[in-house]
Structure 1
Amino acid sequence: MLAKFLATASLFGIAASQTTLAKTFTGWNCCKPGCAAVSNNNILNSRGSVKVCDRDNNPLASDVGRGTSSTCEGANSDSGFLCHDYSPIPVSDELSYGFAIQVGGNINADNPNCCRCYELEWLDRNKKMIVQTVYPGGAAGDVRANDLIILTPGGGLGPVGRACSAQYGSGYNWGNNFGGISSAEGCSQLPERLQGGCYWRYNWAGGDVNGWEIVYRPIECPSRLTDISGCASNP
């Protein structure tokens, strides 16, 4: 394992001390991004506010998005939701862009990791991904501090699954709460506009991504991600 870590760090051209060894998991709970709840003006002025959508995937004005409740907090179906375009974006056979929950001890919207971007590489695969953190998350079960949960439709609703039924209604099979659907065939059981992000796991990544070992480092956010999220933070 140490040899893999050092080899991958050298591919990044940086010292191993600047990288984090962790694992990836998947999730998609339809909830308003946690990093959008911040009300600290200093943070808003320096990094902006994470985009929030309504039930029909219409982006909310920045101040409205920050102030609206998350359906995961028990609000009604008119509250803030996760926008469809937070799904993974394949760029080439070797690279994808996307968004993530970074697991740590601080789950508040003023988390300094909110809006930061990271370049990750899976240790056993010739695949890289650049992700931006739009949720701070807490460790639970197999998910440990510093792990990255890639926002992936069909990746698992997590401990609070009410938002997806509030947004899309019943009649869809979202798979297990943790890990989500178990095969590409299950993607067809999701809302049509989320199916492409679901197929990403199997068609691009080549598996279900949960528990895969990675090494990652902070980088400057690409405009492809900040144009979607509406926020940016220096590494």
Structure 2
Amino acid sequence: MCPDQVPTVVSDTLAYGFAAASISGATDETLACACIKLTFTSTSIKGKSLVVQISNTGGDLGSNQFDLALPGGGGGIYSDGCSNEFGSGYSWGEQYGGVSAESDCSNLPTALQAGCEFRFDWFENADNPTVDFEQVVCPSTLTSLSGCSRTDE
């Protein structure tokens, strides 16, 4: 995960970001760099959409599961990744769940603070909302950040 690959708000109901994913029937090759539109169907963000570019396949994910790359959202199975990159002088929060309040975002490296605040603002700190999903053409906003684009789009 690169520090510039943080969520971007497009409108009140649309944002762009990155995620790990495991989709039933899809292979690593079909998921690599693909963009998926997630339309949330539960919690306070019901009706909002997040277009994510798949940055990895998340070996610890279940079928049809997305692990959103939200700074301050917890390191998950790779809990020491951010400490390795930025050092140990930061408060990363819980391994699964991350920081517990928007004010905790200020305890992260400056490059990650806006992405952390996204979780509490646009994403409304939703906890594992359900989604409908479909593959879409990747927005240039995402491919320019990741440097990854598909030849079949």
Alignment TM-score, normalising by the size of structure 1 = 0.58
CA offset digits 1:213-232 (Å, max 9, x no partner): 01010011111111111122
Partner of 1:216: 133
2:33 and 2:54 in contact (8 A); partners too: yes
Pairing 1:142-181 to 2, within 5 Å after superposition: 143-181=61-99
Alpha-carbon offset, residue 188 of structure 1: 1.4
Partner of residue 100 from structure 1, selected from 19, 43, 56 = 19
Partner of 2:122: 204
Partner of 2:112: 194
**Quick check: which has more Rg, 1 or 2?**
1
1:138 and 1:145 in contact (8 A); partners too: no
**Counterpart-to-counterpart distance in 2, 1:202 and 1:130:** 18
**Counterpart-to-counterpart distance in 2, 1:214 and 1:95:** 14
CA offset digits 1:69-109 (Å, max 9, x no partner): xxxxxxxxxxxxx3211110011111100111002589x9x
Amino acid at match of 1:103: S
CA offset digits 1:154-180 (Å, max 9, x no partner): 111112222212221122111111111
Partner of residue 133 from structure 1, selected from 21, 41, 54 = 54
2:34 and 2:53 in contact (8 A); partners too: yes
Aligned residues: CA RMSD? 2.0
Amino acid at match of 1:193: A
Alignment TM-score, normalising by the size of structure 2 = 0.87
Compare the two structures and name the one with the higher helix fraction: 1
**Counterpart-to-counterpart distance in 2, 1:217 and 1:176:** 31
2:4 and 2:111 in contact (8 A); partners too: no
Amino acid at match of 2:112: L
Structure 2 segments unaligned to the other structure (5+ residues): none
Structure 1 segments unaligned to the other structure (5+ residues): 1-81
Give the % identical residues.
37
Amino acid at match of 2:39: E
1:104 and 1:138 in contact (8 A); partners too: no
**Counterpart-to-counterpart distance in 1, 2:17 and 2:62:** 20
Pairing 1:33-52 to 2, within 5 Å after superposition: none
Q: Sort the Cα spacing of 1:111 and 1:137 in 2 relative to 1 into closer, same or farther, 3 A.
A: farther
